[in-house]
Structure 1
Amino acid sequence: MTTAATHLRTIALHWTDLQEAAGTPSQIGAFGLGLRGYLARLDHADAEQLEYERHQAAHLRSLERDPIQLGDRPVPVRLHILDTMCVVEAALVQCADDIAAAAQRAPIPMPAARKVTGSTYRSMREARIAYEERQRQVQLALADQHDPKRWKYTGRRTASHAALWLLARVERMPGPCRRITEQEEQRIVTVAAGAADRIERTLDIAAQRRTLEQRCGCGGKIDIHGGEGKTPIGHCTGCGRIWTEEGVAV
């Protein structure tokens, strides 16, 4: 069984791939609802490209009309990948927020200020010891507040950082947290599994198999194999016939 740790590593490993893919020209995935679905996706992709080019041309014309506009030209953006990234990041960050709120201890507080008068300390040695102790407490509090193993509610709140922080909790790594409960771990399992599945389907890096409702002429079921960047292939479990996008192969 795939574990939460495996899902979280998948997310952290492929987050950069998503960022890069979001700004690259669209490549047609290799899995759909049969070969007709695959060809339909080709047509859909062509339509999306034409629509993008139309908006791009309009944008360039607006820049030509306004000479004040400077800067880089816009690059193609794959909106479905950006949607995946937004959904995954929101789910992981919210999960980390919830787990941290329950399992992470509060930072060590700064030492309270102390009013010093001439009679506060009996000697310079006593005053120096008190000063050094307060400095030690200040450094300890600062180190705890900025501990990289501490989940923070501001600053770096990315999907990859949340995945790695949750991975540390699942693997019971040391940090300013108690051990998570079974219920908390199950919450992480659910969120991580859903996020990893979305990423794998978006990047088309997972092998997939689907059985069509439509039957072969022999009455057998038709399985479609695809994913992992491969061209989808239809296979009849009855007569063994194989289809590709070019037609019947065998």
Structure 2
Amino acid sequence: MTTATHLRTIAVRWTDLQDALATTGTTAWPPAGRMADYLRALEDADAELAEAARWQAAYTRQYLDRDPQQVGATRPPLRIEILDTMRTVETALVAVGDQVAAAVQRSPMPFAPRSWPAADRARRDALARADACDPRRWRYGGRHTAPHTALWLLARVQGRPGPFRPLPDREARLIAATAADACTRVETALDIAARTATIADPCPDCGGRLEMHGGAGATPAAHCRGCGRIWTGQDTAAA
């Protein structure tokens, strides 16, 4: 994936993260424990998610039925791992935005000297005010969201017009590295990224190395690099 694709993904998927804040979380990756425990966990996953959804709905109804002034009234719990991802990504992107703006954003056009003729001064001052208020400018200390920052950085990568100088190589590399890491965090939090991890326990058949594959909507599966055997959530005989 290119830097532009990473930045677009962050901007587009941000609402998905917001929607996922109050939904049931996913299990840790890779699953811990013995192989048989993992396979049994796969079979039970749907039932656990359904039970969690029922609990969440009941909790939400209970909260909505309560008097807001009543002691102990609280909002339904949020998914902390999603919230942490959003804060981490947004903080990193905004910090990069500050650094890139310092390197590429030119200062606003100065106002006309008082000695200029009135008509010329009025035209120059109008241009200066428009330049200073240009919505394409990065506002230091402003409240920047992750989607807005990602799209602003995308415009700098693509060399879009505005009150900016060309993007230096150092800042381009900074954007690329930060965008790639942020995109990975977003996709991992939403479980839409393909993932691979090595399982500590050996293959029960040949003692070879086991790898777990999943994510991106795929059913998690374990693959032995030695004998080639594959386990999925439908397998119950592995030990």
Classify the TM-score, shorter chain: 0.7 to 0.9
The answer to whether the 8 Å contact 2:63/2:75 transfers is no
| Residues 9 and 182 of structure 1: CA distance in aligned 2, closer, same or farther (over 3 Å) | same
The answer to whether the 8 Å contact 1:232/1:244 transfers is yes
| Residues 212 and 138 of structure 1: CA distance in aligned 2, closer, same or farther (over 3 Å) | same
Number of aligned pairs? Answer: 229
Counterpart in 2 of 1:82? 83
Q: Give yes or no for the alignment of 1:177 onto 2:178.
A: no
Counterpart in 1 of 2:30? 32
Aligned equivalents of 1:211 and 1:99: distance in 2? 38
Q: Once the 2 structures are TM-superposed, how far is the Cα of residue 241 of structure 1 from its aligned partner?
A: 2.2
Counterpart in 1 of 2:186? 199
Aligned equivalents of 1:149 and 1:130: distance in 2? 30
The answer to whether the 8 Å contact 2:30/2:199 transfers is no
How does the TM-score come out when normalised to structure 2? 0.78
Q: Give yes or no for the alignment of 1:141 onto 2:139.
A: no
Counterpart in 2 of 1:124? none
Counterpart in 2 of 1:107? 108
Counterpart in 1 of 2:97? 96
Structure number, greater radius of gyration: 1
The answer to whether the 8 Å contact 2:114/2:121 transfers is no
Q: Of the two structures, which has the highest relative contact order with CA contacts closer than 8 Å and spacing of 6 or more?
A: 1
Q: Give yes or no for the alignment of 1:212 onto 2:174.
A: no
Q: Once the 2 structures are TM-superposed, how far is the Cα of residue 205 of structure 1 from its aligned partner?
A: 0.7
Q: Give yes or no for the alignment of 1:223 onto 2:211.
A: yes
Q: Once the 2 structures are TM-superposed, how far is the Cα of residue 231 of structure 1 from its aligned partner?
A: 2.8
Identity level (%): 44
CA deviations 1:186-212 (Å, max 9, x no partner) are 111111111111101101111112222
* Structure 2: runs of 5+ lacking an equivalent: none
Q: Once the 2 structures are TM-superposed, how far is the Cα of residue 110 of structure 1 from its aligned partner?
A: 2.9
Q: Once the 2 structures are TM-superposed, how far is the Cα of residue 166 of structure 1 from its aligned partner?
A: 0.9
> Root-mean-square deviation (CA), in Å?
3.7
